[in-house]
A = this chain, B = another copy of it.
Amino acid sequence: MTRETAPEQTGPTLRQKIVLAAAELLEEAGLEAVSTRAVAARAGVPTPSIFRIFGDKDGLLEEVAEHGFGRYLAAKAELLTGDDPVRVLREVWDLHIRFGVEHPAYYTLVYGQVRPGHMPQAGRRAVADLRGALVRVAAAGRLRMSVDLATEVMHSAGVGTILALTALPEDARDLRTADTVREMVVDTLTLPPPPDGAAAPGITVASSATTLAAALGRDGTSALTPGELTLLTEWLDRLADPTTTAG
């Protein structure tokens, strides 16, 4: 497989060497062991190289987070191709929980160092993927509320479940919590499948508004002006989330 005489013998980039060294330190000894000096020593490069490449330490940690989330986000993207969107939702939840429990260092790096108004790129990508899964639920007419609200609710519950689990002593963690919260979330966000090809009594104002919004987002329309579309979208959001009342 490896050609000794290959003309392209460059090997890992300097970036990659540094990110990998930082990732190893993070996994082996936790976040507080990741100092710029320790990373540089492990990567075999002088300390200033880190700042030349990543700007500052936060820039390095951003890329370390991307590195750690890579396999997780790829697996999640693969799940999204499933055909039953509610089933996919459960699989996304379980994948999320498993990743958080098995890689607490990466997870707490992204979601466990909360500063007001800030979230790493990897975290935003994960939320965007979750939103994609919920758009598909909405398109199937099985979402009870707006996609945005559902995304926030499911993301909040997922992050909280893992962080609360991680903060517990290792011998006190009860994985049933994750299962209970998953069913709670799925039951709250989704509608039961229509009983058959027939009339589908699960249709409500909220669910049909959500379905229409998803369809408009997916296919667009030329029947309305942009201004009309903006207003309609706002109305659909209000119809989708019944807790909102007209002012």
Place the interface of chain A in its size category.
35 or more
Sample of 14 A–B contacts (CB below 8 Å): A112-B113, A114-B163, A114-B167, A116-B167, A119-B168, A145-B180, A149-B176, A156-B161, A156-B164, A157-B181, A159-B163, A160-B161, A163-B163, A188-B188
B149-A180 in contact (CB<8A): yes
Query: Does A54 sit within 8 A of B, measured CB to CB?
Result: no
Given A117-B168, A170-B116, decide whether A177 and B152 contact each other with a Cβ distance below 8 A.
yes
B176-A114 in contact (CB<8A): no
Given A117-B170, A169-B117, A170-B117, decide whether A176 and B112 contact each other with a Cβ distance below 8 A.
no
Footprint of B on A, CB under 8 Å? 30, 104, 108, 111-119, 123, 145, 148-149, 152-153, 155-161, 163-170, 174, 176-177, 179-181, 183-185, 187-188, 241, 243-244
- Nearest to A124 among chain B residues (CB) is B167
Q: Cα distance A180–B157 when bound, in Å?
A: 11
Least distance between A9 CB and chain B CB atoms (Å): 40
Least distance between A192 CB and chain B CB atoms (Å): 16
Q: Cα distance A192–B185 when bound, in Å?
A: 19
Given A114-B108, A163-B114, A174-B148, decide whether A156 and B153 contact each other with a Cβ distance below 8 A.
no
Residues in chain B near residue A163, CB distance under 8 A: 111, 114, 156, 159-160, 163
- Nearest to A172 among chain B residues (CB) is B117
Residues in chain B near residue A187, CB distance under 8 A: 188
Q: Cα distance A35–B101 when bound, in Å?
A: 32
New A-B contacts (18) at CB < 8 Å, excluding given A114-B167, A156-B163, A176-B241? A30-B115, A30-B116, A104-B116, A108-B116, A113-B114, A114-B163, A115-B167, A116-B167, A117-B170, A119-B167, A145-B180, A156-B161, A156-B164, A157-B161, A157-B181, A159-B160, A163-B163, A184-B188
